[in-house]
Structure 1
Amino acid sequence: MKIFTSILVLLALALIVFNITLLDFKNPFQGESAVAFIGIAASFCAVLILLIFRISKKIEEKTNGR
């Protein structure tokens, strides 16, 4: 499970980097820049959810290991 979540986190980080390259910093909320900004926000949320999932699995392992 740890490898799977690590791969997904790396993919989400790659999407963040890709979407940053699509941003137009002069007009960040117009055209393709708006789509890129939404993609960055969604990828950031995915990373947070995956990290919370990994932490919850660690807690579950510790509580069941007693």
Structure 2
Amino acid sequence: MTKIVSIVLIVIAVALIVYNATVIDFNNPLQGDSVIALIGIVAALCAIVLIVIFMMSKKIQQKVEGN
């Protein structure tokens, strides 16, 4: 996975977080569609963390190989 693909995936995940944040009913955040939106936000945050870990591991791998 190249750096551009990683950045595009992070942007998509951030867009999903923003969209799901608009769906949440802050008066009842644990009922109805708000629960699904919260799950979507958590999933997108997990995806961002995994992509960042992957990018960091690639940088470490390049330094170890000497490129």
Query: Normalization by structure 2: what TM-score?
Result: 0.96
For 1:2, give the aligned amino acid: K
In the aligned structure 2, how far is the partner of 1:47 from the partner of 1:57?
Answer: 15
2:38 match: 37
The alignment covers a number of residue pairs equal to 66
- Structure 1's consecutive aligned runs of 4 or more residues displaced over 6 angstroms after TM superposition are none
Cα shift at 1:62: 0.4
User: Structure 2 regions of 5+ residues with no counterpart?
Assistant: none
Please state how far the C-alpha of 1:48 moved relative to its aligned partner.
0.3
Q: Residues 14-62 of structure 1, C-alpha deviation per residue, up to 9 Å, x if partnerless?
A: 0000000000000001000000000000000000000000000000000
Cα distance between partner residues in 2 of 1:65 and 1:2: 19
Equivalent position SS for 2:56: helix
Match of residue 13 from structure 1: 14
How far the C-alpha of 1:6 sits from its partner, in A, is 0.4
Distance 2:52 2:29 in 1: 28
RMSD: 0.9
